[in-house]
């Protein structure tokens, strides 16, 4: 994967959610060199705000995991903000049980970590390790807190690298519920960043989102323009719009660009029964698994 060069005069090159040792930091190094200046922030909203405020030209955000599913907050922020996707990567996620040095596994009663990480280890924590999961804002942050404070009977779930960064001890490796555990990350920038040099690729995909009234909320009707125009879809996600009259926001990824044959006609048909059609980005096709995730629950 080609590396993106630092651009502009911002203090940092890439912003991510978490702190040193986080999986998002690892993902950032798929896009930029190891000597790049990375900024870790507390929340995903902070990631978007940091780019909008000019603290960094690039952002890395997790969008979905093969065990925990789509990251709802990310999809909300993609629809609500102006950043555009310029690339993607997939990281293999291997979780470790990490404790302060000298703590025995039989002494650990609870573990701290990000809710998504805890969800990926749910059965392992419940049935094998018999430890109580406690949500924290970040995997690496949880590891750092547990080791710094030496909280009695408490460990953390994080990466092996975070244990090295903060001087912890790995008691168990690979505690996720399934060994095939992957997270897809998006690499993003501001829409007016004309200095960005996009990687070349023979295959491209485009991400869009749009809102659908309650009366039109049938997948067969909503997606018909893509089918009729022969446009391959790689991802479809639908969930209710917070505070609306049961409107849905759809996120759709399709193979091709906005200039590809049939796309213009499909978008024209799509706009007849939807509103706020937004292009979130066109970028190299690196994840091509076809899947649909229709969420009827409220966000």
Q: Is 18 exposed, middle or buried (0-12, 13-18, 19+ CB in 10 A)?
A: buried
**Distance of alpha carbon 153 from alpha carbon 81, whole angstroms:** 41
Phi, psi of 265, rounded to the nearest 5 degrees: -65, -40
Token pair 């392992």 is found at 124
Which segments within the chain are labelled E, that is strand? 14-17, 38-41, 58-65, 69-70, 84-92, 96-99, 110-113, 132-135, 154-158, 169-173, 182-189, 204-212, 233-240, 248-255, 275-284, 291-294
**Distance of alpha carbon 232 from alpha carbon 47, whole angstroms:** 31
Q: Which residue among the candidates 89, 139, 154, 183 is catalytic per the annotation?
A: 183
What is residue 298's DSSP assignment? Answer: -
Examine the residue annotation and report whether 74 is marked as an active-site residue of this protein: no
Q: Which residue among the candidates 4, 185, 187, 210 is catalytic per the annotation?
A: 185
CB 99 within 8 A of CB 119: no
Examine the residue annotation and report whether 183 is marked as an active-site residue of this protein: yes
Q: Which of 199, 201, 263, 277 is nearest to 233 (CA)?
A: 263
Which active-site residues does the annotation give? 183, 185
């Amino acid at each position: 994967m080609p590396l993106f060069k630092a651009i502009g005069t911002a203090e940092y090159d890439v912003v991510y959610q978490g702190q040193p040792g986080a999986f998002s930091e690892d993902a950032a190094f798929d896009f930029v060199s190891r000597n790049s200046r990375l900024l870790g922030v507390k929340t995903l909203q902070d990631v978007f705000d940091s780019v909008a405020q000019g603290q960094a030209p690039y952002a890395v955000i997790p969008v979905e995991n093969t065990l925990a599913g789509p990251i709802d907050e990310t999809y909300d922020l993609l629809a609500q903000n102006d950043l555009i996707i310029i690339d993607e990567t997939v990281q293999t996620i291997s979780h470790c049980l990490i404790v302060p040095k000298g703590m025995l596994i039989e002494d650990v009663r609870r573990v701290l970590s990000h809710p998504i990480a805890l969800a990926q280890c749910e059965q392992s924590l419940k049935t094998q390790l018999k430890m109580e999961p406690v949500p924290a804002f970040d995997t690496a942050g949880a590891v750092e807190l547990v080791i710094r404070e030496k909280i009695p009977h408490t460990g953390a779930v994080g990466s092996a690298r975070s244990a090295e960064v903060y001087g912890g001890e790995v008691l168990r490796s690979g505690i996720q519920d399934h060994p095939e555990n992957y997270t897809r990350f998006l690499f993003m920038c501001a829409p007016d960043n004309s200095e960005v040099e996009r990687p070349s690729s023979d295959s491209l995909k485009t991400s869009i989102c749009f809102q659908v009234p309650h009366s039109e909320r049938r997948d067969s009707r909503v997606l018909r323009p893509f089918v009729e125009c022969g446009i391959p879809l790689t991802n479809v996600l639908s969930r209710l719009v917070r505070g609306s009259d049961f409107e849905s926001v759809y996120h759709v990824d399709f193979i091709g660009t906005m200039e590809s044959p049939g796309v213009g006609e499909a978008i024209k048909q799509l706009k007849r029964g939807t509103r706020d059609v937004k292009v979130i980005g066109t970028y190299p096709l690196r994840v091509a698994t076809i899947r649909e995730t229709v969420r009827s629950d409220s966000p």
